[in-house]
Structure 1
Amino acid sequence: MLIKMAMDPLWILFLISCAVAKPLCPDECICSPKGSSGSHALCHGSLPHYYSFGINLQHLRISDVIDEPFTLGPAYFSGSSYSTLVSLQIRNTSLIAVQENTFAGLSILYDLDLSENQLLSDFDPNAIVGANNLRILSLSGSKGVFTNFSGPIIHSKHLTELDLSRCGIKELHWDTFSSLPGLSYLVLSDNELTSIPAGTFDYLTVLEELDLSGNRISFFPSSLFLKNEDLTVLKLRENPVSFIPDSLFSNDSILVEIDLSGTMLDSLALPS
């Protein structure tokens, strides 16, 4: 006996929507829709622009995109798949440039990791403008990104942690960090610095920890840290420095830890 079933129009629409809905996870990714810190996705092998998720994604890790050099342009992550991102990691890829306002629209992005991108040679100072919740940025191991620059390196009122280790940086300027007033943690280790100009850290008035290890610095100008009264940890290890002037720090400095291992200094009198 043939039974005919009358289909409710709303039910038909529901079935159609399920058929065309975004997949929970693209083929190039491994997704964990539920977790204590939100949904995660680990993707590799294709550009992030082509990803489409059917979940509200909080954490996205992208790696091993090496087929062709690519650029992250303005509002690159503006799609709905990315609007809920809290952390974004793009590591070990053929990324060559990050342009102005690339991360605009990622209003709750907190942690951005662009480390180990060996071909990255252009990072626009306004790249993270619009990502107003961003607090942590790493460009560690991107060796060509800041080999030739002038003016402020990055513009952000909100960034608190910046890792520029192993970036091939050969020099700093008095205004390099002038547009990062909220920075409290700065890593410049394992670069090619031979000197640091006076005034370089003057704009970092809330800086608490600075790592200059593994450079070629032999001299520090007097009063270099005069305006960094919140500085508590200073790492200078593996630098050929043999003399540090007494006026390097403010009399109100609260510095409690300094690493001089691998230098020509045995000790340093801290301000009291």
Structure 2
Amino acid sequence: MFQPLVSSKLPWEFSPPSEFPDCPRECFCPPSYPNALYCENRNLRKVPVIPFRTHYLYLQNNYIDQVTADPFKNCTELKWINLGNNRIRSVEKQVFEKLPNLLYLYMQRNELKDVPDDLPASLEQLRLSRNQISKIPPGAFSKMEHLNLIQLNLAHNILRKMPANIPKSLFQLFLDRNNIEEIPQDYFKDFSHLAFVRLNYNQLSDKGLPKLVFNVSSMLDLHLSHNKLSTIPLFNSELEQLHLNHNTIESLNGTEICPSNSFNMHDENGAPKLRYLRLDGNHLSPPIPSDVIMCFRHLYAIVM
């Protein structure tokens, strides 16, 4: 997919005349990218009227505090919207519902307290990190339950619970720097594609983690740094990277954490796939126990 990422930062408030008569004077419409509209870093207080031809819309780094439907009414071909680093507090209902081709929506670093309504079923990436979201209402992602969303970023909010009813198609879930204390039993059970989970800087303790909650065969990369864990949680043999630094872990026992579907110790190909284990910032000291080395034959780095 075409992704024009080169930003045009002009020192004056309005851009020079464009060869496109529908180009908003606050924005830049490069002739070489007729489907891109660059309105970032312009001190904008509101969204300008978006031309029909626009597929890629850049509105980041402004002072927009509200997103209304009117500027978007003719741009049904939009695929990419970046509204990051504004002051958005509210999004009018049905703004995004009328954008049936939208794939990427970036609204990180705003002042949202809720997930925007009526998100389109086409959406693949949704970034809502660094807002003020405290809970996810039922049905917020209902239209994407069996469809396209592959990345959900809700890091740097004030969530106390894991988001419910999120699409099972998810590939990446980022929840760093919230106030999450526990994960429900079987929370990840029906996620057949979930590979990357980040839960750093939360309030997770051993009590808040059901025994086999991370025993998910699709999970490859798990981040649990800066929590309150005193033991290493059990995980699936397919996991490749595990970050547990800066918890309160006091012991490392390879026999206990070796995945239950254990392997023939003489068959390295059948060994658990863990390659990287980070444990610094705990109450541990070298050497690495021999049973850890025996179990995790593919481990090439362990940080203690």
- Give the TM-score of the pair, scaled to structure 2: 0.66
Matches within 5 A, 1:1-272: 23-35=21-33, 38-43=35-40, 44=42, 45-48=44-47, 50-53=48-51, 56-66=53-63, 69-72=65-68, 78-80=72-74, 82-98=75-91, 100-117=93-110, 119-124=111-116, 126-128=117-119, 131-142=120-131, 144-145=132-133, 147-155=134-142, 156=144, 157-172=147-162, 176-219=163-206, 220-226=209-215, 228-245=216-233, 248-250=234-236, 253-265=237-249, 269-271=257-259, 272=262
Asked if 2 retains the 8 angstrom alpha-carbon contact of 1:237 and 1:260, the reply is yes
Aligned-pair CA distance for 1:24: 4.0
Q: Which residue of 2 aligns with 1:10?
A: none
Secondary structure of the residue aligned to 1:63 is coil
- Equivalent AA in structure 1 for residue 224 of structure 2: L
Q: Which residue of 1 aligns with 2:276?
A: none
1:157-185 Cα offsets, whole Å, 9 max, x none, are 3100111110121222xxx3434011010
1:110-148 Cα offsets, whole Å, 9 max, x none, are 21101000x211224x531xx333211100101x22x14
How many Å separate the matches in 2 of 1:52 and 1:77?
6
Higher relative contact order (CA 8 A, sep 6+): 1
Aligned-pair CA distance for 1:260: 1.4
Secondary structure of the residue aligned to 1:203 is coil
- Equivalent AA in structure 2 for residue 113 of structure 1: Y
Percent identical pairs in the alignment equals: 22
Q: Going by fraction, where is strand more abundant, 1 or 2?
A: 1
How many Å separate the matches in 1 of 2:109 and 2:61?
11
- Give the TM-score of the pair, scaled to structure 1: 0.73
Secondary structure of the residue aligned to 2:39 is strand
CA RMSD of aligned residues (A): 2.8
Secondary structure of the residue aligned to 2:45 is coil
Count, aligned residues: 231
How many Å separate the matches in 1 of 2:77 and 2:32?
14
How many Å separate the matches in 1 of 2:108 and 2:187?
24
Gaps of 5+ in 1: 1-20
Aligned-pair CA distance for 1:149: 4.2
